Amino acid sequence: MSTIERTGRTIRLREPPVLLAEAAVGSQKERQGPLGKWLHFVFEDAFAGTKTWEAAESAMHQKAVQLALERAGLRETDVDVALAGDLLNQCMSSSFALRQMQIPFAGMFGACSTMALTLGMAAILTACGAAERAIASTSSHFCAAEKQFRMPLEYGGQRAPTAQWTATAAGAAVVARKGDGPRIEAVHFGTVTDYGVKDSANMGAAMAPSACRTIADFLEDLRLKPAQMDLILTGDLGAVGSDLLQNLLRRERDTEIRAVHQDCGCLLYDDTQDVHAGASGCGCSAAVLCAHILRRMREGSLRRVLFAGTGALLSGVSPLQGESIPSVTHAVLLTAQGGTV
């Protein structure tokens, strides 16, 4: 029997690869948030020792990868492939981070779903023997994202109540065919979904339908009920999108997840930090997963987590051309060592 098989739209890994180690880094605003003390490294400021925000994001990305390797007790040459992506034009943060390293680099793009996408791909590549060990990583940077997608930072534009705050953070995980750590038991690549939302200051609304689809399809494929999960973790719908997701799942797919649902966008910052609807950016779910959720899985307080990364597939140009915002949600099923589906 093959150890990798499809169940409906979901890929089951019968000999699940493990997360050997992970690392999350952030800047000052992330340090001040509720998860700040769990970050593995905090940069002094948003320049991270560089001269541009883009280079800063790249430096943070690289730091997360280096720390994850260090925490796994590995060198660069122990890793067969790095799966990485980000939201800078042409995934610059990833390319420039990996330029410093002797690791083959397969670039990926999933907008804010990138951590789930790269983790899922790393899981498959290690499970099938294409790699013994793989890195999954991503990053984002508030200033670089604002400048690229919205307004010059100096302009000081007012943010909408539905807007989310791009995390200045990065996360990386080392996935291996064998070893100890939380396991990746299933991978689900999402299908692009577009309900016609055009407001680029309300990404939560744009992404909720795709999260609904992926979560419902996944649970259906594996014949799981939400109550059988310790946590269904979306990232990054924020407050607005989280509500919409719960409502959509109830209405369209007869599924109630409120009791087990949390969203990375609502975990990284708290209400005093003036982030409006929550956090966003590739680095948000990467940091929440690597600093917080995987730690809790290692401690044993979470045993079965569906991590569903949500991504809004817009560019700086597409909304100006009148396009709506398609989105995609990729998911991985994480289980604590010794757990099983």
Contact residues toward a second copy (CB under 8 A) are 2, 4-6, 9, 11, 51-52, 54-55, 80-81, 85, 87-92, 94-96, 98-99, 101-111, 117, 120-121, 124-125, 127-132, 187-192, 194, 313-318, 321, 323, 326, 328, 330
Minimum CB distance to a second copy, residue 179 (Å): 17
Minimum CB distance to a second copy, residue 32 (Å): 29
Minimum CB distance to a second copy, residue 172 (Å): 16
Q: How far is the C-alpha of 153 from the C-alpha of 147, rounded, in Å?
A: 6
CB of 176 within 8 A of CB of 133? Answer: yes
Neighbours of 155 (CB within 10 A): 9
DSSP 218-238: HHHHTT--GGG-SEEEEES-H
Q: CB nearer to a second copy: give 129 or 338.
A: 129
Minimum CB distance to a second copy, residue 272 (Å): 32
Minimum CB distance to a second copy, residue 6 (Å): 7
Q: How far is the C-alpha of 149 from the C-alpha of 317, rounded, in Å?
A: 8
CB of 24 within 8 A of CB of 38? Answer: yes
Q: CB nearer to a second copy: give 111 or 297.
A: 111
Q: CB nearer to a second copy: give 267 or 325.
A: 325
Cis bond leading into 263, ω under 30°? no
Minimum CB distance to a second copy, residue 184 (Å): 12
Q: CB nearer to a second copy: give 199 or 323.
A: 323
CA torsion, ordered 61, 67, 70, 74, to nearest 10 deg:
-30
Q: How far is the C-alpha of 305 from the C-alpha of 331, rounded, in Å?
A: 10
Q: CB nearer to a second copy: give 124 or 290.
A: 124
CB of 10 within 8 A of CB of 176? Answer: no
Minimum CB distance to a second copy, residue 328 (Å): 6
Q: CB nearer to a second copy: give 259 or 317.
A: 317
Two tokens, residue 191 = 């299908």
Q: CB nearer to a second copy: give 13 or 18.
A: 13
- The residues near 328 (Cβ < 8 Å, ≥ 6 apart) are 110, 111, 113, 190, 191, 192, 193, 210, 310, 311, 313
